Amino acid sequence: MTTTLRLLQAEDEEGWKAYHHIRRHVLFELRGFDFYDEDHPDEHREGHFPLLFSVDGVPAGTARLDVSEDGGIVRLVAIIPQLQGQGFGRTMMRAVETFAIARSISRLEVYAAPDAVPFYQKQGWQHVRETQQTVLLAKLID
């Protein structure tokens, strides 16, 4: 049986609902934070692409790609807990890279939680610097 994996922009009401649910749960609730703002203006800024990753049509992950003159910043990457550790995060990140390349981006950055750094490093991301709560990593893509 073939698994269908897709990365799409969150555009309709159902997509936005799934996008925010996954991010709120994985990145905030499970980490003990309660300040998630689904109405944050960055979600709708020009050059910001809210992305929803699905596995066999079921929402499974999220990321947002913010495009700037210097490249792209990948933000708020999340995979639902029951699919973590099975390669879906790596597949989603490759899809995000493909999405970025299609927009002529050759360098990506991500501010990762310290516990996520090994995930990124295994995919070729390089340590740039540490901030108060995150680690900045970068990757050249082509």
CATH number at residue 95: 3.40.630.30
Q: So what's the pLDDT on residue 71? A: 93
Q: So what's the pLDDT on residue 124? A: 97
Helices (H), the chain: 13-23, 88-101, 117-121
pLDDT-above-90 percentage for the chain: 91
3-state SS, residue 14: helix
Residues in the chain predicted with pLDDT less than 70, given as ranges, are none
Q: So what's the pLDDT on residue 122? A: 96
Selection from 109, 110, 60 nearest residue 85 by Cα: 60
What domain range is 10 assigned to? 5-104
Alpha-carbon span 100 to 108, nearest angstrom: 8
3-state SS, residue 26: helix
Task: Name the CA dihedral angle for 44, 9, 133, 40, rounded to a multiple of 10 degrees.
Answer: 20
Query: How long a stretch of residues is the chain?
Result: 142
**In a domain? residue 37:** yes
| Total structural domains within the chain | 1
Q: So what's the pLDDT on residue 50? A: 97
Q: So what's the pLDDT on residue 25? A: 97
